[in-house]
Amino acid sequence: MSLAVTGSGARKVETALVELNACRGESNIETQQITNCQARAEAAEAEVKHLNSSVDNLNQAVAKLNATGQRSADLLPYAAESIRRARRLDAVAEELRKRLP
């Protein structure tokens, strides 16, 4: 028994191989995108920790204000830091949202 491939059959095999190669390329791109998103998500997690620390400091300064009626010198810097970190976290979240399908 011998096997013969016609011209049409050869073109179909070639087309299938090209499509398979394209699928592999797309898969590689998706894997890279997922890896990038994971790395960005890890960075966002670190931002959340920094934000929590800033908010803790701000809460302590507000507690001092409430207890004494006097604003401590660190209240405004802590508030500004908390706002800055929250904005940064919002930007990271927006960037991740745009990357997801």
**Mean pLDDT score, 56-78:** 92
Check residues 26 and 74 and name the one with the higher pLDDT.
Answer: 74
Tell me the mean pLDDT in the region 75-84: 92
Phi-psi region of 43 (alpha: psi -120 to 50; beta: other; left: phi over 0): alpha
Position with higher pLDDT, 89 vs 2: 89
- Residues shown for the chain: 101
pLDDT at 79: 92
Residues contacting residue 44 through CB under 8 Å, at least 6 positions apart: 89, 92, 93, 96
The arithmetic mean of pLDDT across residues 57-73, rounded, is: 92
